[in-house]
Structure 1
Amino acid sequence: MTDPRLMISVSGIRGRVGHGLTPEVVARYAAAFGAWAVARAKDRGSRTAIVLGRDSRVTGPLFHSVTRAALESVGADVIDIGLTTTPTLQLAVEHHHAAGGLGITASHNPIEWNALKFIGPDGLFLSAAQGAEMRALVDAGVPYAEWDALGEVYFDGDAVARHLDAVLALPFIDVDGIRSRNFRVAYDACRGAGGAVIPKLLELLGCEVHAIELEADGRFPRPPEPVAENLVALQTLVQKTGAQIGFATDPDVDRLALVDDTGRAIGEDYTLALATRVVLRHRKGAVVTNLSTSRIVDDMAAEHGVSVVRAPVGEVNVALKMRAVNAVIGGEGNGGVILPELHLGRDAPLGVALLLQMMHEDAEPLSRTVERFPRYTIIKDKLDRPAKPLDAVYAALRDAFADAEADTQDGLRLGWSDRWVHIRPSGTEPIVRVIAEGPDERAARGLVEKGRELLAKLA
């Protein structure tokens, strides 16, 4: 029986440590994933190794040991890459032709959370169907290996270097050109895994680096989600050092947020939008993003006569849609950039390189680039999840806004030419997200308040 305190979604399993997420739970799910991945690998006649890595969270070393033992116990060899980023882990799965990957990270969640992220042999997070198939072993019973068939452990200390080399080898990243600009860059690692990765990348790109909170001990000095309201220290650092751009990452370094040269946090939606702008100069094709991403991405795509395709929230959903439509770039408005030429996963180091490439090509301050495009107000609200189904809220919203275009791929998104509202249950927290965007705060706030009003009736 699944503990209701666990959050189970396409993002894996998450919980508060000691309250739903315990070493016993971690061992059970890790063993189930290992047995599932090994069985599928044997059917394909391919390697039965699992790549294992973690972010910097305080509980990471404990769960790392538990997970490694659980994988060995089902006969999986373990390729341990230690403290790392989620995109590095995904690339390592592909590099080793592994049966899968397992990341110990709760991404942007607060310090008391941790999680397991399950990655398939293609380097993508498990689909909903794959996840259900794997989790069935938790209830049915995990087939453990006998004493002479246990897995072995191998260590790979080169995964981060390979990741950065792959980013710098992208054909439209002009490494020499970026180096010639000697950009002054500020960076806030929030004591996540990025402290051991992003400064190295910036140095390889010839930047003068001013960084804070590089200690990868997981003792976050602020809420770890890199949204604008959490980036006060980075904004101050940009102003103090005269940096031309400021970067912030979440603990597992798949999300990237920006502060412009004036010291203003411009919002994480701009990361994908600006990355899209530079990629479309070199590659023409579709752009994919999720239903909760700002229209600024549409504006950047329209500049190049390209369409934007929407997918349900969740990295794997966007990645699968990108594969289906042969997109040249995609991602999510939370600061996640996905480039198929690198891999089908959100990648903050990639985002850093693309933003510096754009600044090199444009030869103008980031603040001026942002000013060239319409400004929208996006409001991201969240409420406790009601006990009753959300269908009644969806129906009432559609009745109230009959002129809107409705998308029901993931909750309900109602869209107009200059605004939209999206209501959906979160896959990572026990909440309902209400996100709206409009040409000004009044328009966006009105849509959010309507959603709150309808949700209150279900409480």
Structure 2
Amino acid sequence: MTLIKSISGIRGTIGGRVGDNLTPIDAVKFAAAYGVWLKRQREKDSYKVVVGRDARISGKMIQNLVMNTLVGQGIHVVNVGLSTTPTVEVAVPMEHADGGIILTASHNPKQWNALKLLNDKGEFLDGDDGAEILKIAESDDIVFADIDSLGKITKNDAYFDLHIIEVLDLPLVNVKAIEAERFKVVVDGVNSSGGIAIPLLLERLGVHVVKLYCEPNGHFPHNPEPLKEHLTDISKKVVEEHADFGIVVDPDVDRLAFIDENGEMFGEEYTLVACADYVLSRTPGNTVSNMSSTRALRDITEKYGGKYEASAVGEVNVVKLMKKNKVVIGGEGNGGIIYPELHYGRDALVGVALFLSLLADKKMSVSELRKTYPSYFMSKKKIELTPQLDVDGILKTIEKRYQNEQLTTIDGVKIDFPDRWVHLRKSNTEPIIRIYTEAKSQEEANALADEFIEEIRAIAGI
């Protein structure tokens, strides 16, 4: 079992020993550290934090612990209950709150949960702020409020609707055109909050919704990471229902993948490519994704006369570069759409609305749309870490071996060959090394990944 403390928050498995897992004591300690950090940002009479959760079985327990810890620090809490990560991000500035906490372990299995921490803009904390919170958590600087200064909890169930209204009000979301197409869509909500939010959005857009695993009970019916091997049920359902396409989200609804009308994956990497195609066609500009994302976004951006740049992996890194480059759309190749016109956070709801607007405009099937984009194929593999594995040493060795190739080392090692690339990095959220590759065919991408896995094993002697 595992507890991972990082600048983006604290993530771990439920149960077990304090300090080794995400126990109630660990949840309270890190929530309190966040409260202390929040008060250090500026001195004022009262503070407010928005708190929401996905549908994980442990969600209510962890949320109650977190909320009441903040109350004990004299911080007022807006409880948005069952929610999505982007919904909480939208709620923070709407509430004029000082920050937000989302209780979700994103794509991790049901035994995991996490505290994701936001600033007063509803954006993830940067590295310095995250490091300060980790330091506070291990210090004696946590002080609680007296009896007359306790915070209060206010419940607000309106934010699914408010979030959807914000999406529908975006100038590029063509509600009338989408309604006219009378789309039929299957939604896999992996029995979490996406099973509520995505159908609500689609119904507002006049889409006929077929629900699959949309009961928010936290019992994930398959591995919640939206990868091809986990999505056989929705692939069958789309074909059986003669649907136009399928929508898949992860438990906290910041990742988005599509299934075409034939039950085939549109490609999680191409979620951002398609949405960027639509946005760039109407508002030309620059784009950003991370180093592990497809080259197709670069190709589409340059087609419209814009500039593409890659950041280190991690939403906070993507957002930082997006702001610097004043981009019109960006995100991550794992199906994470960041549309600054709404907010700087990965948002499956805005991704769905932009994709539907694109389909309504193009008047073609999802499989036909996919054929209009540059054809790249990606392999995403990983190696489990062990205490004996010197990851940094391995990456240094790889770097030396390929020093005559085009290298980027801001986040692990990325090697850009003329017609393919490989990116090797330590995960920030799991004890693994990720090996991402991309090439002109799936066979070539898989072979490249396997080649580097064997090379890593040889270097490590495993």
**TM-score (structure 1 length as normaliser):** 0.96
Aligned residue for 2:361?
361
Aligned residue for 2:212?
212
Provide the C-alpha distance between the structure 2 equivalents of 1:112 and 1:240, rounded to a whole number of angstroms.
32
1:362-381 correspondence runs (5 A): 362-381=362-381
Provide the C-alpha distance between the structure 2 equivalents of 1:347 and 1:442, rounded to a whole number of angstroms.
31
Provide the C-alpha distance between the structure 2 equivalents of 1:417 and 1:167, rounded to a whole number of angstroms.
39
Deviates more, 1:258-267 or 1:105-114: 258-267
Count of paired positions = 454
Provide the C-alpha distance between the structure 2 equivalents of 1:422 and 1:296, rounded to a whole number of angstroms.
16
**TM-score (structure 2 length as normaliser):** 0.95
Preserved CA contact (<8 Å) 1:288 1:322? yes
Aligned residue for 1:418?
419
Provide the C-alpha distance between the structure 2 equivalents of 1:417 and 1:271, rounded to a whole number of angstroms.
24
Shift of 1:46: 8.0
Are 1:15 and 2:15 an aligned pair?
no
Residue identity opposite 2:250 in structure 1 = D
Are 1:198 and 2:193 an aligned pair?
no
Are 1:409 and 2:406 an aligned pair?
no
Shift of 1:47: 5.4
Aligned residue for 1:30?
31
Aligned residue for 1:107?
106
Provide the C-alpha distance between the structure 2 equivalents of 1:450 and 1:386, rounded to a whole number of angstroms.
20
Provide the C-alpha distance between the structure 1 equivalents of 2:285 and 2:375, rounded to a whole number of angstroms.
25
Provide the C-alpha distance between the structure 1 equivalents of 2:339 and 2:246, rounded to a whole number of angstroms.
22
Deviates more, 1:375-384 or 1:160-169: 375-384
Preserved CA contact (<8 Å) 1:315 1:331? yes
Deviates more, 1:232-241 or 1:343-352: 232-241
Taking structure 1 as reference, are residues 263 and 399 closer, same or farther at Cα in structure 2, changes over 3 Å only? same
Aligned residue for 2:306?
306
Provide the C-alpha distance between the structure 2 equivalents of 1:403 and 1:447, rounded to a whole number of angstroms.
18
Shift of 1:442: 4.0
Provide the C-alpha distance between the structure 2 equivalents of 1:369 and 1:80, rounded to a whole number of angstroms.
41
Are 1:444 and 2:430 an aligned pair?
no
Preserved CA contact (<8 Å) 1:244 1:366? yes
1:354-392 deviation digits (Å, cap 9, x = unpaired): 110000110111111111223222111111124444333
Aligned residue for 2:127?
128
Which ranges of structure 2 fall in alignment gaps of 5 or more residues? none
Which ranges of structure 1 fall in alignment gaps of 5 or more residues? none
Provide the C-alpha distance between the structure 1 equivalents of 2:447 and 2:228, rounded to a whole number of angstroms.
21
Aligned residue for 2:383?
383
Are 1:57 and 2:52 an aligned pair?
no
1:234-253 correspondence runs (5 A): 234-253=234-253
Preserved CA contact (<8 Å) 1:12 1:115? yes
1:117-156 correspondence runs (5 A): 117-141=116-140, 142-156=142-156
Provide the C-alpha distance between the structure 2 equivalents of 1:441 and 1:177, rounded to a whole number of angstroms.
35
SS at match of 1:197: helix
SS at match of 1:151: coil
Aligned residue for 2:40?
39
Provide the C-alpha distance between the structure 2 equivalents of 1:260 and 1:189, rounded to a whole number of angstroms.
17
Residue identity opposite 2:125 in structure 1 = L
Provide the C-alpha distance between the structure 2 equivalents of 1:262 and 1:446, rounded to a whole number of angstroms.
27
Residue identity opposite 1:408 in structure 2 = T
Residue identity opposite 1:18 in structure 2 = G
Root-mean-square deviation over aligned CA pairs: 1.5
Provide the C-alpha distance between the structure 1 equivalents of 2:40 and 2:53, rounded to a whole number of angstroms.
24
